[in-house]
Each structure stands twice: as structure tokens, then as C-alpha cells.
Amino acid sequence: MSKKNQNLFETECNEAIIFARVSSEKQEKGASIDAQKECIYEYCKSKGLKIIKEYIITESTMRGDRKQYKEMIDFIKGRKQKTAIVVNCVDRLQRSYSDTPILDDMRKKGKIEIHFMKECLILSNHSTGMDILFWNMCVLMANSYVLSLSDNVRRSLEYNWAKGKWQGLAPLGYLNTRDNKGNAHIIIDEERAPIIKRMFEEYATGLHSAQSLLTFATHLGLTARTFGNTNRHPHPLNYNTVYEILRNPFYYGVMKVKGKLIPHIYDKIIDKKLYDRVQLILEAKSIDREFLAKQQKYKTRKFAFRSIIRCGKCNHFMSPDCKIKKNKMSYVYFRCYNNCGQPSANSKTLLNQLDNEVFSKFYISDDDFIDISKSVINHNKHSHYIKQEILIKFLILIRDLSYIMKEANAGMQNEILTILLKDCSLNGKTLSYNLRSPFDKLLVSQLSDWKDIIINNIKDLDAIEYNIKALNLVERK
């Protein structure tokens, strides 16, 4: 702000022009020119304002109306001092937003103050956002569209919407309440709002259907609201509720009123970026579910058993699902979304089963490892059947399997399980599977036979060569 402007900003305002408007046909009581003028004179006196000019408009002459209004603006612009415009009420000065920008610009520059007597509102360059909001709301009320509404309730709705207030039942994740003055208010539902947020975040991963998201939310403890003894039926939680939640912009700060989005005054639960991402996924899902499923499979988060376990009942692939328990820990479950009755299984439990039955059984002492490796690598040197790099990785994988699986992240676990397992299905909480060759033969053989088994089945490593090559193995400490 320049020094020159600052001076203008701080100029005291002690000169006023008055602006009055009256309908020539309806000289309603208290609205006549004389009555209006009298009120304004008294007001200016009480505020210490000297009246320097009067603009009186008779409504029937529309052309004269605009002409005088423009004259007034030009008059103010031509003055060096700050000028107060004093009017009886907002609808005397302006009936539409079109006049607002010019008036607001002059206000911000400290050229004018506007005194709305009836509304007890003085607008100056010091006005707060609430004052400006109130002014805009009054202009909305003065707008002929609103005035033409005879219904008081409707007017009150417009009034509240303009102030960013929601009417009626708050969306799930919020609660209707009353502030200390007894006015209706909406606050965050501390119990449900975090779950609503998690639902958006989970859905944004692209892994969920509405049904799986509902399961997720229900596990987190999301319930419908009950409304005490009122007759209102709580909205049952079903996948339609999920869609309602995911499509409601209220959570990021705007409310939908008659097809329009209006910013509301309540706390937000999510940001717009997350909301927009969810809308994209909702749209993509409705366009092509199958396409998205393929996309997800390759692009999203990794899970140990993803694309590995089939349902023992219906043969569908089982899908990952995350659960947050009371201790805030996240658990991965695999479930069948085919509604076949197959119970879900904890990923960790399945890994423990495999560790007991497979991983830990492959243990080799360092001496045996060196002995076996020497023979196998030497044999391969002559046959050139497989790259030495692959063979060494394969040997280290066997030696450290239990350790590697415990240390690995889900993506690596998934790669190793792909190398080890085939025909993997879940029956109840137990995994049924076959091991790929040569792991299957090694598991049931004496250590002394391992050299021969590996050498004789070395061609089987061909099928999993790329998987082994991709492994980023960390040697046992």
C-alpha cells in the first residue's frame, strides 16, 4: 500500500450525500420521500455528517433512475474527500449485483462509506468479511426474484443459503446441533467424520467397489444415525449410502442447492483434491469396470497374495481388503467379493502357515550351502543352461527364504510367492497350494539329494527366470 493511499484510507468522513428512492404509485407509510428524508437527516446529524447533495429518485421513471444513479457515482468520483452515501435501506440503493463492483471498488479505495440505516450497516475500507457477506445477502434479498416470493420460509431459505448455512439434516459425518444462542448449527461428528475421510482415501486408491468400501467402513465402525425419539427413520447403510457419501461435495466445503454449488460455513472433512480424485474413479468405474480392474491390478498398491489366491468355493480371485483395528494397526485381509460365503483370511495368518510348512523347512547351513552351490554352479558352467546370476539368486533365495519373507515388503513377498506357488486357493482359513518345481521336490528330499535335484530340474527355473531376476535380495546378516 502506497503512502498516498494510506492517507486516503485514514481520512475521516464527515460529508454525505443522501440517496432516496420511492415508488410514485405506492406512497406507503414510512416510505414516502419526506419520511425517508427526515429519517436520513436525523441520522446524518447523529453521525456528524454534513449533507452536501441529495439524490431523490421516483421509481416510475426508469430512465431517470439510472441517470441519477450514474450522476451520483460521477459526483463522488470527482471529489477528493471521502464521501458517505446514506440510504434508508439496501434496496433503496441497489436492486441487483451489477452495481456492487463499482461501489465495492470505491469502498476498498477509501473513496466512500455506505450507510444502510435500517440494516445498521456501515461499509468502509475497514469492513470485515462478515459485513460484506451481509451486504451481498441484502442485495440478494432486494433482488426482484426473491422479493417476488411470497413464502416467508422460502425467503428464509435463500437468506440462510446466501450465508452458507445448510438447511435440514446434515450429511453423515456431521451432526445437527444448536449454538449457545439457540440457532441451528452443524458440527463435525467426531465419531463418523474420520471414517468418512478414510472412505474417501480408500476409494481413491481405486481398489474398492461400493460394496467393499461399505464393508470397510462398517468394520471401522460406521453406523447410521438414530434420531432419539423422533419419527425420522435412520438412513440404512447400504452401498447406495456409500455412493451418496462419495458424491457429496459438502465434505470439501460446498453444498449443492438447486443444482448450484454454494460454499458453506462448516468445517471440512476432506480437501477438494481428494474429492475430485474420487469423482474420477467413480466415473471411470461406471464407464468400464473391467478396464479399471485391470488398471488397478498393475498400478495400485502391492499385496503379498494379490493375484495368487483363488476362492476355494467359487474360484474367483480373492481381493485384498484393509482393516484398521482398535490399536490403529492396519491388517490386510483377503476376501471373496462373489458373495459365495467364503470367509476372509488375514494375510499374516496365511504367511505364518506358509512359513511353518515351507519357508522355514528350506533352511541350509552355511557349509551345506557352499557345498551345494559349488556343484550346481560348476555343472551349469558347462551346460550353460541358465545364467549364473539367476542360479546364484535362486540358491540364496532357498537358503534365506524364511528370513527374506519376514523382512520383505508386500510387493517383494508377492514376487516370491509367485515364484514358489501355484494352484493356490483358500478353504476356510487354510491355504491349499502346490509348489513349483524344483521347490516341490526339494521340500520332500534329503539335503544330500539337493545337488542332483537342482541339476536335473534346472530347466524348470526357466519359467520363473524373469521373476527371480527381478528379485532384489538382501543377504542374511
Residues lying near Zn ion in the complex (CB under 5 A) are found at 311, 313-314, 316, 336, 338, 340, 342
Helix or strand or coil: residue 193?
A: helix
**Distance set, CA 377 to CA 325, 396, 440, 461 (Å):** 48, 13, 21, 14
Of the two residues 311 and 421, which places its CB atom closer to Zn ion in the complex?
311
**Smallest separation (angstroms) from Zn ion to the CB of 242:** 22
Of the two residues 301 and 335, which places its CB atom closer to Zn ion in the complex?
335
Residue type, 74: D
As given in the structure block, the three cell numbers for residue 379 are 555343472
State the burial class of residue 371 (Cβ atoms within 10 Å of its Cβ: 0-12, 13-18, 19+): middle
Q: Tell me the sheet residues that pair with 86.
A: 18, 115
Of the two residues 185 and 316, which places its CB atom closer to Zn ion in the complex?
316
**Smallest separation (angstroms) from Zn ion to the CB of 339:** 8
Of the two residues 426 and 471, which places its CB atom closer to Zn ion in the complex?
426
Residue 69 CB-half CA count within 13 A: 19
Q: Tell me the sheet residues that pair with 397.
A: none
Pick from 104, 27, 102: nearest CA to 69: 102
**Smallest separation (angstroms) from Zn ion to the CB of 440:** 26
Identify the helix (H) or strand (E) that includes residue 36.
Answer: helix 33-47
As given in the structure block, the three cell numbers for residue 317 are 480371485
Task: Estimate to the nearest angstrom the gap between the alpha carbon of 449 and the chain centroid.
Answer: 59
Of the two residues 308 and 420, which places its CB atom closer to Zn ion in the complex?
308
Quickly tell me which residue has 449457545 as its cell.
180
Of the two residues 88 and 215, which places its CB atom closer to Zn ion in the complex?
215
**Smallest separation (angstroms) from Zn ion to the CB of 222:** 25
Of the two residues 173 and 320, which places its CB atom closer to Zn ion in the complex?
320
**Smallest separation (angstroms) from Zn ion to the CB of 350:** 16
> To 10 degrees, what angle do helices 100-108 and 62-77 make?
20
**Smallest separation (angstroms) from Zn ion to the CB of 448:** 43
**Sign of torsion, CA 153 158 160 166?**
positive
**Smallest separation (angstroms) from Zn ion to the CB of 240:** 24
